[in-house]
Amino acid sequence: MTENIVVVLPFVLPPILGALIGYVTNAIAIRMLFRPLRAYHVFGIRIPFTPGIIPRQRHELAKSIGSMVSERLLTEDIVRAQIASVEVREGVTRGVASYTQRALHGVPASENPDEEDRTARKLRPTVEHTVTTLIRGFLSSDELASLVADSLSHAYDALSELQVGTLLPNSEQLEALLEEGLRKLPEAELWERIIETASGALAQELQADRPLSEYLGEDGPDRIRELLVHSYDPVRTAVLTRLSRPDAKRELIIRGKVLLRDILDKLNSWQRLLVSAGQYDRVLSERMPEIIDDLLLTLEQSSAEQENRELVVGAAMSNIEVLLGRGVADLCYDLRLNPMEWLVYLFHTMARSLRNDEQRRSLSKVLSLEVDRVRVITIRELVEDIFGVARDDLVLKLGERLTELLRKDELRNRIASGTVALIERFLDRARSRPLYELLAIGPTEKQLIDEAIARRALALIEARLPEIISVMDIESLVVRKVDGLDTESVERLLLMVIAQHLRWINVFGALLGAFIGGSQVIMLRFFF
């Protein structure tokens, strides 16, 4: 038996030893990739191959891994394709549905009323500040004017072809509403605001002291001249008729005699002697009625002549043009007029009229009749044809005015306060009810909401994907993460991927060693 072993051993032992040596050397080489973990020194000289390759080159390894992940694994195209996959979209939709399910079916109120009240008191200032800040910020933003103009434009287009009557109550109801509104108007706060607004506007105009011609426009003088021409005959007839009345004639005769006496008193003694000797003064005084009649006849005839008509109109226009060129405040000062007093007097007179039942009913009836005249026309015809305002001009002016009003601090504060109060009342009612009941959201509506939110979220991610990937800086993230791991963790990380391959490398080393040992046996047996 021993002899057989001795005979076989020279043939078997070299391959076995070669396999063992190949396996062990490969295992040691692989182990030296990770070990030792630190450098060792003898007499200040670093021992070769310490530390291992992986510990020594860990940062370069981290950079290589980071570069590979960012350039080959987590690229924009790969992430975008993954987002577009059905699985991801369904997963996002399920996540949104789960969140909205909890949000809509949860009850806002706490089971502990005291805790609920404390929470409400804590949240109230936050809600008020947030809502107020949002509203004031929006009403101060540049987008407000565009939004107001677009809204007015759409509203006008939607209502322009409706008849005015479709938006109004019937005549009797309208008259009653007008009378009630006029009755309350003098006592309402609005009346004082109207007076304040009118007074402020008048004060600004007086301060500006603009010429009267600016208020009439470029064709103002032509219209005045046309008015004078058309009113000349009625005024002339009225004046002559008034002067021809007996009482007016008697007044003219008296004034004529007084004028004659004043003229005679201005003569010297010799002139008065001649007049008295010829009794001219007595004759003129006795014939004064005939003289007045002759004067009136002459006035009537001369005023009817075209040349004199043009002279009168021209003289009147000359004086009017002088007045039109003067400032409002300057003219009022010369005429000893106080516009503010007249304005207040006008409003007080209007208030007295509105407090009078008969006058108020008459005014209400007149206004109702005027409204009835425009019931059958469309809003577009009312605005563009009757008032002569083009659509774009109306939208522009209303938009500018509304934007100006909305940007006033007082109105912004009122809107914010009203919105906060509305939200608080809604939350008070909503304390013990789930949101789906408050918002009347059923399964179908919830599904549509979930899908819309999921689509919007995915679309937002896709649109911002380059920015997201750039901001995340995947390469630096991987490098920092790998650098932050200890060497054992890096070893485990690599072995998770290549452990199986390393075992086969050991096996391959054993096979190679066995092959070399077997080759030596063959060479010794047959060649030496």
Q: Residue 181: which of 43, 350, 364 has the closest Cα?
A: 364
Q: Residue 93: which of 459, 436, 452, 462 has the closest Cα?
A: 452
pLDDT score, position 57: 65
- Please provide the DSSP assignment of 212-229 as one string: HHHHH-TTHHHHHHHHHH
| Direct distance between the N- and C-terminal alpha carbons of the chain, in angstroms, rounded to an integer | 27
Most confidently modeled range among 174-178, 250-254, 407-411, 480-484: 174-178
In angstroms, rounded to a whole number, what is the distance separating the alpha carbons of residues 274 and 84? 127
Higher pLDDT, 484 or 392: 392
472 band by pLDDT with thresholds 50, 70 and 90:
confident
Residue 458 amino acid letter: L
Residue 388 Ramachandran class (φ > 0 left, ψ -120 to 50 alpha, else beta): left
Non-local (6+) Cβ contacts of 204 within 8 A are none
214 band by pLDDT with thresholds 50, 70 and 90:
confident
Q: What is the DSSP letter of 52?
A: -
Non-local (6+) Cβ contacts of 437 within 8 A are none
The least confident of 189-203, 309-323, 390-404 is: 390-404
Percent of the chain exceeding pLDDT 70 equals 74
Q: What is the mean pLDDT of the segment spanning 263-277?
A: 64
Higher pLDDT, 296 or 47: 296
pLDDT at 389 exceeding the cut of 50: yes
In angstroms, rounded to a whole number, what is the distance separating the alpha carbons of residues 255 and 249? 10
109 band by pLDDT with thresholds 50, 70 and 90:
very low
Overall size of the chain counted in residues: 528
- Residues 352-367: b if buried by 16+ CB within 10 A, e if exposed: eebeeeeebeebbeeb
Q: What is the mean pLDDT of the segment spanning 380-401?
A: 76
Q: What is the DSSP letter of 240?
A: H
pLDDT score, position 55: 67
Per the prediction, the chain carries an average pLDDT of 76
In angstroms, rounded to a whole number, what is the distance separating the alpha carbons of residues 352 and 191? 13
The least confident of 102-111, 289-298, 380-389, 448-457 is: 102-111
pLDDT at 378 exceeding the cut of 70: yes
Give pLDDT tens digits for 118-160: 545 655 677 677 777 887 777 777 777 778 888 888 887 887 7
pLDDT at 293 exceeding the cut of 70: yes
pLDDT score, position 305: 85
Radius of gyration from C-alpha coordinates of the chain: 54
Angle of helix 288-304 versus helix 306-324 axis, rounded to 10: 80
- Please provide the DSSP assignment of 138-177 as one string: HHTSTHHHHHHHHHHHHHHHHHTTSBGGGGS--HHHHHHH
pLDDT score, position 485: 66
The least confident of 33-42, 132-141, 270-279, 351-360 is: 270-279
Q: What is the mean pLDDT of the segment spanning 187-216?
A: 84
The least confident of 56-60, 188-192, 332-336 is: 56-60
431 band by pLDDT with thresholds 50, 70 and 90:
low
Q: Residue 179: which of 370, 351, 361 has the closest Cα?
A: 361
pLDDT at 117 exceeding the cut of 60: no
432 three-class SS = coil
**Type and span of the H or E element at 123:** helix 113-139
110 band by pLDDT with thresholds 50, 70 and 90:
very low
- 331 and 205 in contact (C-beta within 8 Å)? no
- The dihedral sign for the CA sequence 308, 310, 316, 318: negative
User: Cα separations (Å) of 262 from 156, 281, 292, 294?
Assistant: 74, 11, 17, 21
Q: Residue 82: which of 464, 473, 462 has the closest Cα?
A: 462
pLDDT score, position 54: 65
232 band by pLDDT with thresholds 50, 70 and 90:
confident
Most confidently modeled range among 230-244, 434-448, 472-486: 230-244
45 three-class SS = strand
353 band by pLDDT with thresholds 50, 70 and 90:
confident
pLDDT score, position 271: 61
307 CB-side CA count, 13 A: 2
430 band by pLDDT with thresholds 50, 70 and 90:
low
- The dihedral sign for the CA sequence 441, 445, 447, 453: negative
- The dihedral sign for the CA sequence 350, 356, 360, 363: negative
- 10 and 521 in contact (C-beta within 8 Å)? yes
Angle of helix 86-105 versus helix 443-463 axis, rounded to 10: 130
270 band by pLDDT with thresholds 50, 70 and 90:
low
